[in-house]
């Protein structure tokens, strides 16, 4: 933490700041300059909320130096985390593909899509059983009934099941019948839910919130890890911006940004990230090319009849083409260990 | 719903769209134009997810006409809702002031602030008992112990207690010992929590999400009302934008925008809406001048020692000055019935 | 400037950074800490582009301390600037009102509106002669002809003329026939135009760019002042965000933020700031309540027939009511000298 | 255009709207529904500013149908535009690479970088001669002197020269000594400059504005084309959002979105689009994978000594590696004719 005093700050004001720092058990380091004084703070174990200094007389600015996270960092664990789900992996050399409908609507729909997913060679099947919908009058998922269909899909096709939990009891059910707990964008800062997921044995797929900074997203992962569950997969699914040609703006730069800070695997969701079927394949290719560890893609056997998010679902044949394209790309664009922390050599 | 076909769409493509509309039990209305055909849809009870039409061949654009909400609208209830909490009101002629610390930290702190709140003539005391914090390592609230302090404040000062619930069991406790349930910005689309609040007898103060459109915010209120609880108070607290001189950008235009659509009362939170103490009073004045029904303001007896959000808390004397200023403004800026739906008279 | 090294940075990496600093003629100050080293930089006259250090090996972060502007600051000039235009002022005790149509469309239209503006007691008449329009097919202003109408308005009604310049030759004409040069949002970083305005004797009204940070906006003012023209008026007109209920999001917190940094007067434009007539009066009230030095408002005698921006124009009678309301507010909300740099007293 | 009346709108209000439509020489089509009336408008040649109807009594909403652009559309020209610059092309089968320093700083720097660019097989050399800088005190480019260096680079290396014009006289000079006129993000809506570029014989590279919607960006291209210059290249360089881990957020979905509407070629600038050297290569790969026609990349022989934007410049060897990677990707990800307007086949 660095506190920059105003040019005209007097000795008394500087002393007052120094005193407040000491009251918190920290060590102040006064650094007088030509035009103004800066005061460094050391002795803190973790981050300090420096905003409290902002309104003290004579203070011009407060600058944070220490980062607020620990467990997610490469400092803690320099090699990349590989999440294992049975014999499938996310974060390793394999490109992880999670595909399926937005919501489970019927046995026939789920099976038709699951067959396409299995045939593509993907290992994970997604499908909403409880759906978070903006409107209370929109389709809210099949609940229990959807869950029975999911179990049959799992057994019949041998796919790993990824389902979103909206509340704590949902996690109990996923633990019984599913494989990966998904925390959705709207719940990225539902801290009770994060803590419950952190006490689970199952891996957690954590979607980025619609307006989450990278730091907030990583801190949400830190919440899960702080409870003991280190199997966290980050999922970039676009953020809300002023643009109107897509539902969200897919922020692919988050992938190399995370690589530079964290050991956690990160995948990309081009379906929510764009909201339109015709954009999904190009952005899936981009996601793989930027170095993501996998993709999450929505597929529906009859997108025009889908009960939710039909506009962004691919047909089985469009999906098969997507998988073919991204697999080819992956072969030449596999992220290597040396790539992420690339830096210039000093002259 | 209006489906606009591309200029070159042929009869077969138009027929295919018409067929899908009929499959959903709706009525298509073909309107051929000079350069392109548009197809109107009627017969729907509520809104339709028109995005599913977007990828049909020949479709240029899908335009939604029906709004997705009902209970919150002036169509349903043309006169403004006045929420009553004991003998205090929000949404009536009185300017509602909700003030208190970000978090309850100790008996002394709570009582010092509550005294200032009572002296100002405000009727509501706010204070976090469970705190949603971005970092798992930040102060998370006193929990049970904080709650006991709150009960004493309520009894001693006769103030109505407003507290944020982070999970369903918190609402049980607020129902026993508090007066108003607050749903925070991060939980605006925690639909399980909204439904639980909708089954409560207590009024609900619903903060706008950090990246919520007006429609999403109003639909969150609709979730609460759909369960039977009509006592909802909306709270504008700023949205996330690219700007860096404030913590959030206070979107005061949401106040007249809501007035034009909804009967629900709306208040403004200039503390979270700016994040800096020196901006709170000017923006509180602006909130009252724009026509808000009340204010929510953070006050701390020693802001520089606060365990959370110290930078945006006012001292008791700054707060007293704020109340004096906004009361004077309110007298000349009280919103009248005729103002909100103002329209030009046609020439 | 503060360069924070990574925890594992070695002596050689630190030396390399120190050497680059010295190559620029600056002074490095190494500050070894428990876990990492920080290197302060002094000796710079103005700001340094610290981003160049970001990719040196071992560097974790580069933190800027010095602000990049000078002339606009309270450090340079502690008392507020009052811009004088004949016998009218902006930035003094008077509330400056600039009103008129979006574009000059005809003699009759201009005179009808000018009469309403004069009657309201406002001193400034706005009106576009050259219009920046997103589409090349939209109405682009009357040009020369519009300018002749403006001159007549000026002579007949004694109002000061405010017109937007889109290119340098426009400024020549405004210097001959007008009173205040307006630089529009789209040209806020048209540096050639800013420099030309900086060489003028006329005051310059500088609108905030649609996506401008406070710093970029103030630096645009610095461009004008660096050429010798100190009569700059800042105009907040809303920024682009994800919201859809307004054309722009009016960022009223910029008013107290500017007050804390700069001596320049700042006014608010609730017409562009909202885009809808029914919101203009409430937001104008909010602008005055937050402490702005004036307002810029669009008025049209027949908004429904306007050739541009009809949806946000007030009728003359709506405008008269607005002026009445904001004058009443101003009397009790006049910003005082002591208000802006308010700070807590240390405990 | 579709005007939706409120549920309670009476016959008189509907008639008033119909009358205003007729006053503009357009044809109203009243469509009474179960709960409300909608009024379609036909007979317009181009788009109408529908906002003027928004404040008429009884109007609930105004919905635009016609798009405001013509020349940029696939309706006008179904096959993709290939821009030819001597024997190099942009928009054809070749991946166009434009590389060079942010600003020309010296003969040695320019030649060192140009050599690397030539060796990579790229055909275009970029380099700023006049620099738009946020601060008036930052390095503003070498001007005339830089231009002489550029001419030598052109002659010596046979590279096509791409330079940004900040004002109309700059275009005169580029026409004499350069090959492609660049319009920067800050000038995307500098309509005088766009019109001047539209009267040039040289191709124009049009960067997306920092807060430009797709529509505004395409309309800026329409400005250039409306003057007769059809050789326009669009350049995605990121937009401003709330995120802080990059300088801008690269919106790669704009590439397929443009493909669906326009015949113009589109390239991606991962240097400005991220602002950090370590992200440039991954995002360049993503840009090629999403289907862009080319890349614009900043290269510097000594990034840590660069006078501007050093943090985002690649070293010559990093750049050589980038070119190798994107060429390999391009071979398997070349956008095909059928891809862009992909649509589902109706069931």
- The answer to whether D2-63 and D83-333 have equal CATH topology is no
Superfamily of domain D2-63: Phospho-2-dehydro-3-deoxyheptonate aldolase; domain 1 (3.30.70.1140)
Chain C residues within 8 A of D51 when measuring between CB atoms: 275, 309-312
Phi, psi of C61 (to 5 degrees): -165, 150
- C-alpha of A152 from chain center: 28
The reported pLDDT for the residue numbered D83 is 98
User: Hey, are the CB atoms on C2 and A4 less than 8 Å from each other?
Assistant: no
Chain A residues within 8 A of D212 when measuring between CB atoms: none
- Structure tokens, D243: 């995120």
- Res. A33 pLDDT band, cuts 50 70 90: low
Average pLDDT over residues B49-60: 80
Structure confidence by residue, pLDDT tens digits, D183-238: 999 999 999 999 999 999 999 999 999 999 999 999 999 999 999 999 999 999 99
Q: Coil, helix or strand for C286?
A: helix
Question: Strands C37-42 and C27-32: what pairing?
Answer: antiparallel
How many CB atoms lie under 10 A from the CB of residue C127? 30
Q: Please, are residues A68 and A46 in contact by the beta-carbon 8 Å criterion? A: yes
Average pLDDT, chain B: 90
Half-sphere exposure of D232 (CA within 13 A, CB side): 31
Structure confidence by residue, pLDDT tens digits, D295-314: 999 999 998 888 887 889 99
Average pLDDT over residues C132-141: 87
Distance from C-alpha of A141 to C-alpha of C319, rounded to nearest angstrom? 51
Which among B20, B38, B56 has the least Cβ separation from residue D65? B38
User: Hey, are the CB atoms on D190 and C187 less than 8 Å from each other?
Assistant: yes
Chain B residue with Cα closest to D38: B65
Our CA angle for C109, C115, C117, nearest 5°, is 100
The reported pLDDT for the residue numbered A334 is 63
Half-sphere exposure of A216 (CA within 13 A, CB side): 22
> How many angstroms away from the CA of D294 is the closest CA of chain A?
14
Residue % of chain D over a pLDDT of 70: 91
Which chains lie within 8 Å of chain D at 3 or more CB pairs, if any?
A, B, C
Look-up of token digits 């689309």: B189
The reported pLDDT for the residue numbered D334 is 63
The reported pLDDT for the residue numbered D339 is 40
pLDDT for C93 beyond 70: yes
User: Hey, are the CB atoms on D303 and C55 less than 8 Å from each other?
Assistant: yes
Residue among B90, B126, B79 at smallest CA distance from B265:
B90
Structure confidence by residue, pLDDT tens digits, B3-14: 888 878 898 999
Average pLDDT, chain C: 90
Domain boundaries, chain C: 2-63, 83-333
Distance from C-alpha of C334 to C-alpha of B329, rounded to nearest angstrom? 12
The helix (H) or strand (E) run that includes residue C254 is helix C254-261
- Res. A340 pLDDT band, cuts 50 70 90: very low
The reported pLDDT for the residue numbered C36 is 75
Q: Coil, helix or strand for B215?
A: helix
Average pLDDT over residues D5-19: 88
Rounded to the nearest 10°, the torsion over CA A302, A305, A307, A312 is 60
pLDDT for B46 beyond 50: yes
pLDDT for D341 beyond 50: no
pLDDT for A107 beyond 70: yes
The reported pLDDT for the residue numbered A25 is 81
Residue among D191, D218, D44 at smallest CA distance from C140:
D191
pLDDT for C340 beyond 50: no
User: Hey, are the CB atoms on B305 and A219 less than 8 Å from each other?
Assistant: no
Is the ipTM here above 0.95? no
Average pLDDT over residues D112-120: 98
| Range of weakest confidence among A89-98, D156-165, D300-309 | D300-309
- Structure tokens, A214: 């990278």
- Structure tokens, A97: 């593909």
Q: Please, are residues A225 and A197 in contact by the beta-carbon 8 Å criterion? A: no
Per residue, what are the HEC states of chain A? CEEEECCCCCHHHHHHHHHHHHHCCCEEEEEECCCCEEEEEECCCCCCCHHHHCCCCCEEEEECCCCCCCCCECCCCCCCCCEEECCEEECCCCCEEEEECCECCCHHHHHHHHHHHHHCCCCEEECECCCCCCCCCCCCCCCHHHHHHHHHHHHHHCCEEEEECCCHHHHHHHHHHCCEEEECHHHCCCHHHHHHHHCCCCCEEEECCCCCCHHHHHHHHHHHHHCCCCCEEEEECCECCCCCCCCCECCCCHHHHHHHHECCCEEECHHHHHCCHHHHHHHHHHHHHHCCCEEEEEECCCHHHCCCCHHHCECHHHHHHHHHHHHHHHHHHCCCCCCCCCCCCCC
Structure confidence by residue, pLDDT tens digits, C217-237: 999 999 999 999 999 999 999
The reported pLDDT for the residue numbered C341 is 38
Residue among B119, B111, B302 at smallest CA distance from B127:
B111
Question: Which residue did the predictor score with more confidence, C5 or A219?
Answer: A219
The reported pLDDT for the residue numbered B310 is 80
User: Hey, are the CB atoms on B47 and A135 less than 8 Å from each other?
Assistant: yes
How many CB atoms lie under 10 A from the CB of residue C201? 8
Average pLDDT over residues C115-144: 92
Residues 6+ apart with CB under 8 A from B137: A46, A47, A68, A226
Structure confidence by residue, pLDDT tens digits, B119-129: 999 999 999 99
Average pLDDT over residues A80-104: 96
The reported pLDDT for the residue numbered A26 is 82
Look-up of token digits 């070293």: D315
The reported pLDDT for the residue numbered D129 is 93
Residue % of chain C over a pLDDT of 90: 68
- Res. C77 pLDDT band, cuts 50 70 90: confident
Average pLDDT, chain A: 90
> How many angstroms away from the CA of B68 is the closest CA of chain A?
7
The reported pLDDT for the residue numbered C65 is 66
| Range of weakest confidence among A286-290, B156-160, C340-344, D117-121 | C340-344
Rounded to the nearest 10°, the torsion over CA A312, A316, A318, A320 is 130
Distance from C-alpha of C143 to C-alpha of C274, rounded to nearest angstrom? 27
Which among C2, C55, C56 has the least Cβ separation from residue A2? C2
How many CB atoms lie under 10 A from the CB of residue B92? 15
The reported pLDDT for the residue numbered A47 is 60
The reported pLDDT for the residue numbered D196 is 97
Q: For the domain D83-333, what is the CATH code?
A: 3.20.20.70
The reported pLDDT for the residue numbered C289 is 97
Look-up of token digits 């009469």: C115
Cα dist. C82→C203, C252, C265 in Å? 11, 21, 7
> How many angstroms away from the CA of A182 is the closest CA of chain C?
26
> How many angstroms away from the CA of A291 is the closest CA of chain D?
7
The reported pLDDT for the residue numbered B308 is 81
- Res. A67 pLDDT band, cuts 50 70 90: confident
The reported pLDDT for the residue numbered C307 is 82
> How many angstroms away from the CA of B182 is the closest CA of chain A?
15
- Res. C346 pLDDT band, cuts 50 70 90: very low
The reported pLDDT for the residue numbered A341 is 38
pLDDT for D338 beyond 50: no
Residue % of chain B over a pLDDT of 90: 68
Chain D residues within 8 A of A278 when measuring between CB atoms: 256, 260, 340-343
> How many angstroms away from the CA of A18 is the closest CA of chain D?
30
The reported pLDDT for the residue numbered B340 is 38
Phi, psi of A279 (to 5 degrees): -95, -15
Average pLDDT over residues A274-297: 97
User: Hey, are the CB atoms on C304 and D53 less than 8 Å from each other?
Assistant: yes
User: Hey, are the CB atoms on B253 and C328 less than 8 Å from each other?
Assistant: no
User: Hey, are the CB atoms on D31 and B29 less than 8 Å from each other?
Assistant: yes
The reported pLDDT for the residue numbered C72 is 94
pLDDT for C56 beyond 90: no
The reported pLDDT for the residue numbered C46 is 60
Chain D residues within 8 A of A257 when measuring between CB atoms: 245-246, 279
Structure confidence by residue, pLDDT tens digits, D40-96: 777 666 666 777 788 888 888 787 766 788 899 998 888 999 999 999 999 999 999
- Res. C189 pLDDT band, cuts 50 70 90: very high
pLDDT for B106 beyond 90: yes
The reported pLDDT for the residue numbered D270 is 98
Distance from C-alpha of D231 to C-alpha of D199, rounded to nearest angstrom? 11
Average pLDDT over residues B141-158: 94
- Res. C334 pLDDT band, cuts 50 70 90: low
Chain B residues within 8 A of D55 when measuring between CB atoms: 343-344
User: Hey, are the CB atoms on A239 and D252 less than 8 Å from each other?
Assistant: no
Distance from C-alpha of A294 to C-alpha of A327, rounded to nearest angstrom? 11
- Structure tokens, B333: 């800026």
The reported pLDDT for the residue numbered C26 is 82
Judge residue D39's burial from the number of C-beta atoms within 10 Å of its C-beta, 0-12 exposed, 13-18 middle, 19 or more buried.
Answer: buried
The reported pLDDT for the residue numbered D33 is 66
Residue % of chain B over a pLDDT of 70: 91
Q: Please, are residues B85 and B94 in contact by the beta-carbon 8 Å criterion? A: no
Can you list the alpha helix ranges (DSSP code H) found in B70-213? 107-119, 144-157, 168-177, 191-198
The reported pLDDT for the residue numbered A337 is 38
The reported pLDDT for the residue numbered D75 is 83
Half-sphere exposure of B143 (CA within 13 A, CB side): 5
Average pLDDT over residues A287-298: 98
């Amino acid at each position: 933490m660095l506190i920059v005093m105003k040019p005209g700050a007097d000795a008394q004001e500087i002393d007052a700041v120094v005193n407040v720092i000491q009251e918190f058990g920290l060590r102040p380091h006064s650094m007088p300059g030509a035009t103004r004084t800066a005061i460094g703070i050391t002795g803190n174990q973790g981050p300090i909320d420096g905003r409290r200094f902002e309104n003290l007389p004579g203070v011009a600015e407060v600058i944070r130096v220490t980062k607020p996270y620990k467990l997610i960092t490469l400092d803690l664990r320099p090699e990349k985390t590989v999440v294992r789900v049975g014999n499938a992996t996310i974060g390793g050399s394999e490109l992880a593909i999670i595909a399926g409908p937005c919501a489970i609507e019927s046995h026939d729909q789920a099976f038709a899509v699951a067959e396409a997913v299995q045939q593509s060679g993907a290992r994970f099947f997604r499908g909403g059983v409880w759906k978070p919908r903006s409107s209370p009058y929109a389709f809210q998922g099949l609940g229990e009934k959807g869950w029975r269909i999911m179990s049959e899909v799992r057994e019949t096709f041998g796919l790993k099941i990824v389902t979103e939990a909206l509340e704590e009891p949902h996690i109990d059910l996923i633990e019984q019948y599913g494989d990966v707990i998904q925390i959705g964008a709207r719940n990225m800062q539902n801290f009770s839910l994060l803590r419950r997921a952190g006490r689970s044995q199952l891996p957690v797929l954590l979607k980025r919130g619609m307006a989450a900074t990278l730091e907030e997203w990583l801190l949400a992962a830190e919440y899960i890890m702080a409870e003991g569950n280190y199997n966290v997969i980050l999922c970039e699914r676009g953020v809300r911006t002023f643009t109107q040609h897509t539902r969200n703006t897919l922020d692919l730069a988050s992938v190399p940004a995370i690589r530079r800070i964290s050991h956690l695997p990160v995948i990309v969701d081009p379906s929510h990230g764009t909201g339109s079927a015709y954009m999904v394949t190009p952005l899936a290719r981009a996601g793989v090319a930027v170095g993501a560890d996998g993709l999450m893609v929505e597929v529906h056997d009859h997108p025009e009849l889908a009960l939710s998010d039909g506009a962004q679902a691919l047909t089985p044949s469009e999906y098969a083409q997507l998988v073919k394209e991204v697999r080819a790309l992956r072969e030449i664009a596999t992220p290597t260990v040396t790539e992420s922390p690339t830096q210039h050599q000093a002259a």
